[in-house]
Amino acid sequence: MAHSMHIQRTHHVMIAGSRYATREMLDYARRAVQRAHAKKYTVIVGDNPKGVDMAVVQECSRLKTHVIVAGIANFPRNYGCKHGTYIKVGYETYFSAPHHMSSPYAARDRWMVDQAQTCLFIWNGDSPGTKIGYDYAVLRGKDAHLVNFDRSPQP
């Protein structure tokens, strides 16, 4: 054959972070979306109506970035992105074996990590969920980044 077929493989970047986020953290989240958008990546984000998730969803809406919003209900709590995709991650569908997950959101977070090649966690230094997600991404061999915005004096 004279010409080869190029299969477009979409790069998925998960952007996650704390519900309780400073302005600095939210700005960082928006810049991360802008970088992903410039590279034509698909953003994967949760549906929390507060904090990092909400900032990411709003920026994806503004830029019309390729985006998948993931939640556990029939509709995204942060309204998602009209131009994007919403995926309901079923607790029982994702975990076939018995497990000790703290919440259905932990299942959703694992699903998001598993769909992404790159995982960015914007952390307030305190939120356990963000750190657990990062640790899981590392365990799964993802290109994982934990950006710690904790400015308190460390012991």
- Could you tell me if residue 51 is left (phi over 0), alpha (psi between -120 and 50 degrees) or otherwise beta? left
- Predicted pLDDT of residue 84: 86
Give pLDDT tens digits for 23-53.
999 999 999 999 999 999 999 999 998 999 9
Q: How far apart are CA 67 and CA 101, in angstroms?
A: 26
| pLDDT tens-place values along the chain, 155 residues long | 555 666 667 899 999 999 899 999 999 999 999 999 999 999 999 999 899 999 999 999 999 999 999 988 888 878 788 888 888 887 665 555 445 555 777 888 999 999 999 999 999 999 888 999 999 999 999 999 999 998 776 55
φ and ψ at 69, to 5 degrees? -100, 130
Domain layout of the chain by residue ranges: 12-148
Residues 73, 60: Cα–Cα separation, whole Å: 21
Within 8 A by CB and 6+ apart from 8, the residues are none
pTM summary value: 0.86
Can you give the length of the chain in residues?
A: 155
> Is the domain covering 12-148 a CATH 3.20.20.150 domain?
no
**pLDDT value of position 95:** 57
Q: So what's the pLDDT on residue 5? A: 67
Q: What Rg, from alpha-carbon coordinates, does the chain have?
A: 16
